[in-house]
Structure 1
Amino acid sequence: MYADQTNATYPTSTYTPVAYDNLATAPQTDDQPETGDDGRLKRSDLPKVPKLKYIVGPSAIMLGASLGSGETLFWPTLVARFGWVLFALFLLAAFVHFVVNTEIQRWTLATGESIFRAMERLHPAVPLALLLGGFVSLGWPGWAASAAKIGAAGLSLGTYDLLGTEIVGWRLLGIVLMVLIWLSYQLAPLMYNIVEKLQLLLVTGSIAFAILLFALVGSVETILSVPSNLTLSGEQLRIETVAILLGALAYAGAGGYLNLSQSLWIREKGYGMGRYQGRIKNPFAGDDPETVHRNGISFPPNRINLDRWRGWWRVTQLEHLLTFFLGLVVVTAILTLVVFTYAAGSTGTAVDIWLAEVVPVVGPLTSVVIYALLFLALFTTEYAIVESFVRNSSDIIYDLYGRDAGWSLSQVFWTLLTIFCAWGIVILFVPLSVDNPFGLLVVGASMSGLMMWPYILVVQWINTVRLPEHTMPGWGRIVSMWFAAGFFGYFSVLLTGIYLSTRLGWQLFETQATVVGSNVGGGLLWLGYGVIQLAVMYRVAQAKLAAAGTVDDADRARGWFS
């Protein structure tokens, strides 16, 4: 028996209720995902493929998470300091994020389960480790602090005395922003809808201000000068520089724990088999909760479902390409051009470059546009970070502990949202905690970069070893994910070695960018990275070759860069 096709349609997402207990259990055959011993999947048909305009949303939230980090702060800073040759590295990193993000979506498209549930099937320690890493990287309100600092500078806010504590204007504004984020979730029954609408509005505003900024101060001469500035400074790799670079690579499109939210956002939006899973509602809205089933639903590989899978994969990639990738490149290019024009060679921090070096030399109108753009971009990112951390973490906590304890997923989400926003307010309130907001961003960004190598390997393992032939990635994507893992693994090892040798004084672990010349401990770090990377590559290739010919007519599911 398949799902009831009666739709419960929301303004921005679609949900199809299912008589879950009446669905047939998927057989343990080659044409079904491998679930291990942790609960069998049910079986139903893959929903029809909608037009592109009806699924826009998840990638817009991801773009919002990116605008205030790498695109506004890290990449303009790096290009101004080292030259335009690094912009090619940004384009490469943006492509890597496109591949990784869409691969994070794959398991959810095929089963309706979140990527964290898939990881739990491997071992419960995997999502728990990501939860810890997510808090370390995102638990500091650096974006709210940076947005507040820029907003306070634009409004010329002074110093306030609150409960006997001296709070600079931007601190108070940062606290207000965190409160506003919390309040926004109370505006509608369905949590995701609020986030999507506000993020679309904020992202649209950021892009509009970026285009206006280029119209005011950009020029053809600036663009034509790029080839003559394709140089790289000879500055030695200090830990701060490598940390910023790794953070910029991670945030060339959200990064770290944020990327993993793509799985949950497409489930909320109703992509693929996620259409049969429930949505997270405001527990105080009065509506009946929708069940998010522990074990997902797979589809039989008949001709109709195989054609639909190819269609879903095509429209999913288009949504991410046109919304996330294109928006990312356009905004980053504009902001980098502006910073390079007015602050080439600067060694200042990102926020200070904008406020102390760019704003003073442009006209009043351009200054207003810069303040508005930076404020919107940074606030958009903080909003997406709160959403991402809370949604990811509530999914992990609920599946590992809350479901068996009888908790409601909606209540877990709301409680964690309240705690996380309150924690951000406390950090902003403490006078000495965030004197340098950009320092918080560097710590969080570099940690996000360190997270990406291991979880890219895990995602690829899940999608290739656990999925059947018709839904597993093609060779083009397998090779791209090998590169993505190696890309982030390289910079992670480099940063780890530099940190251990310079900050902790453990010279034994010194690493060199060329690998050759690293100290003994650094060499062992490179060796461990290489062994793990090659072992996963071998297992993935083995699974891909073994799956060939196991599902009849599997080629019908193949499409562009599948």
Structure 2
Amino acid sequence: MSTTTARPGVSWRHSNLPQPPPYTLRNVIRVIGPGAILLGLSLGSGDWVLGPVVTARWGTTFLWICAVSVLLQALLNTEMARYTLATGESIFAGFMRGRSGPRFWASVYTLLHLAQVGWPGWALAAAAALVAAFLGRPLRPEDGPVIVALGYLIFLGAVFVTFLGPQVRRTVELCEWLVMGLALLFLAALAMSIVRWTTWVSVLVGFLPPVLGEPAPSSDMDWWLLVAFAAYSGGGGTINASLTHWLRDKGFGMAGTVDGRAVVVGGETVRFARDGMTFAPTELNLVKWRHWWRYLRTDFWYLWAAGCVAGMTLPVLVTAQLVAPGETWTGFTAAVGLAQVLGRSYGLVLWTGALLTGFGVLAATQVGIVAGYARSVTDILWTASARSRPAGAEGGAGGVYWLSLAAFTLAGCLAMTLADPLLLIVISASVAAFNFVVLSLHTLWVNRTLLPRALRPTLWRELAVLACALFFAALLARAILSSSILAGFLG
């Protein structure tokens, strides 16, 4: 093992790229996984809430925004993962190699992450679904205090899950996957049984770009809602970047060569490393690189991107079949809109089934977001602290974990008193859109500056990452110009 310099001031330990396992179905299932985690999180807000809300209001006119967003997010995901594959570090660790230093960038991304996910609209939406199911009727304004109280219980319950032991948490994670699977089966059964083929065609055409689809309406525009729809059609902002933590933990590419320091995080022993390791772009290493890239493509394209579009299609199909464009779902109604139209057309059984399914999906999403935030931020802050100390003097991570979780809990409890679930999710997704702009430009810099020329992305990939930044920047600019930010927050 040797040490090389990628650019002045940045040194790397050097080793060979590990041999990837043979590309078989069994190994694909074993190696990939981050894309599936992100897919589950996208179902809870973009698919279950925002997709039906947008469809009820404008029909299939703006579904192309979902398709474009997922395409650009998939390209950004693979480029962030490129860095992890090449160095064994998360993309956040790469960001910390910038001139401002690790502590500055760790603080920036911790705050951006909190600003995105510290709005627990998922817990409040889950509470709305459960209250409606219990009452057996549409929600009324006087139900608000009960919904908020239950929302607090769900949110704090999600926080409590992080206090449980590793074995119990794994059981909870399996339950989350079961809920997501049942939700997709429920939606698929509805789509196959009640949706006419003409609606299928209309929805599929809606995913095509505007030049092939319907003209955009000139009135009744809510650009903040469309920004949110775009951002949460996939995972969203810093949640996407956190995938590189999971890739590293699974030993993907050069991560398999990095020996980390054992630290206790949330009662579980994990291994963190202050620095990664890279490899010389020899012919043999580049052959292995291309094989690893095949697994990456399977995870983020065949599984995640296709799954995001399919996950959005199912609730949109049901909504488009049962709702004539022009209905505006706001407030608590947005959280139960899909169930309401099913109950209106097919009665109490589907009404209750949709509400309970929605509760499960939204509550599971909130649990995943709480656990993911605490784990990701702990990783970021520990790495920054370790790089600011002499090698071998790195400290533990337990205090960082509990402090980050406490800050997140406080922010969430305060945010829940400010708005209804739809507005909380829209605020969260709008911050995610801004984070996409920052992440895209920073990832472009990292891959161009820190990676050897043979491992850098091709020009078209760099242009695609730049297009991701421009896409979300344009949507945000249009939303800001359409109405003042203050008016948007205050309604």
TM-score class, shorter = 0.7 to 0.9
Task: Show CA shifts across 1:36-63 (max 9, x none).
Answer: 525x221222222132111232111111
Would the aligned equivalents of 1:58 and 1:196 in 2 still touch at CA under 8 Å? no
Amino acid at match of 2:14: R
Would the aligned equivalents of 1:112 and 1:267 in 2 still touch at CA under 8 Å? yes
Task: Show CA shifts across 1:469-507 (max 9, x none).
Answer: 222112332222122122112112222333448849xxx
Using the TM superposition, give the Cα deviation of residue 321 of structure 1 relative to its aligned residue in structure 2, in angstroms. 2.2
Q: Does 1:262 align with 2:239?
A: no
Q: 2:219 aligns with which of 236, 241, 244?
A: 236
Q: 1:37 aligns with which of 3, 6, 9?
A: 9
Q: Which range moves more in the overlay, 136-145 or 47-56?
A: 47-56
Alignment of 1:151-170 (within 5 A): 151-156=130-135, 168-170=145-147
Work out the CA distance in 2 between the residues paired with 1:461 and 1:70: 29
Q: 2:233 aligns with which of 249, 252, 264?
A: 252
2:355 match: 371
Amino acid at match of 1:373: T
Q: Does 1:420 align with 2:391?
A: no
1:479 match: 463
State the identity as a percent: 27
Would the aligned equivalents of 1:402 and 1:409 in 2 still touch at CA under 8 Å? no
Q: Does 1:467 align with 2:451?
A: yes
Alignment of 1:50-89 (within 5 A): 50=21, 51-89=27-65
1:110 match: 86
Alignment of 1:315-334 (within 5 A): 315-334=295-314
Using the TM superposition, give the Cα deviation of residue 228 of structure 1 relative to its aligned residue in structure 2, in angstroms. 9.1
Would the aligned equivalents of 1:62 and 1:262 in 2 still touch at CA under 8 Å? yes
Alignment of 1:38-437 (within 5 A): 40-50=11-21, 51-122=27-98, 123-124=100-101, 125-156=104-135, 168-189=145-166, 197-226=174-203, 231-232=214-215, 234-236=217-219, 241-275=222-256, 276-278=258-260, 282-283=264-265, 285=267, 289-344=269-324, 345-349=326-330, 350-351=334-335, 353-401=337-385, 404=389, 407-421=395-409, 423-425=411-413, 427-428=415-416, 432-434=417-419, 436-437=420-421
Using the TM superposition, give the Cα deviation of residue 237 of structure 1 relative to its aligned residue in structure 2, in angstroms. 6.8
| DSSP 3-state at the match of 1:42 | strand
Amino acid at match of 2:356: A
Q: Which range moves more in the overlay, 448-457 or 381-390?
A: 381-390
Work out the CA distance in 2 between the residues paired with 1:107 and 1:198: 32
Using the TM superposition, give the Cα deviation of residue 211 of structure 1 relative to its aligned residue in structure 2, in angstroms. 1.4
TM-score by length of 2: 0.84
Using the TM superposition, give the Cα deviation of residue 453 of structure 1 relative to its aligned residue in structure 2, in angstroms. 1.2
Using the TM superposition, give the Cα deviation of residue 146 of structure 1 relative to its aligned residue in structure 2, in angstroms. 0.6
Using the TM superposition, give the Cα deviation of residue 342 of structure 1 relative to its aligned residue in structure 2, in angstroms. 2.0
Would the aligned equivalents of 1:261 and 1:391 in 2 still touch at CA under 8 Å? no
Inter-CA distance 414–242: structure 2 relative to 1 (3 Å threshold): same
RMSD: 3.1
Would the aligned equivalents of 1:111 and 1:298 in 2 still touch at CA under 8 Å? yes
TM-score by length of 1: 0.74
**Please, which runs of 5 or more residues in structure 2 have no aligned partner?**
22-26, 138-142, 207-212
Would the aligned equivalents of 1:64 and 1:202 in 2 still touch at CA under 8 Å? no
Larger RCO, structure (CA 8 Å, separation 6 or more): 2
Work out the CA distance in 2 between the residues paired with 1:378 and 1:232: 33
Q: Which range moves more in the overlay, 327-336 or 206-215?
A: 206-215
| DSSP 3-state at the match of 1:457 | helix
Q: Does 1:492 align with 2:471?
A: no
Work out the CA distance in 2 between the residues paired with 1:102 and 1:191: 32
Using the TM superposition, give the Cα deviation of residue 346 of structure 1 relative to its aligned residue in structure 2, in angstroms. 0.8
Using the TM superposition, give the Cα deviation of residue 295 of structure 1 relative to its aligned residue in structure 2, in angstroms. 1.4
Would the aligned equivalents of 1:66 and 1:252 in 2 still touch at CA under 8 Å? yes
Using the TM superposition, give the Cα deviation of residue 86 of structure 1 relative to its aligned residue in structure 2, in angstroms. 1.3
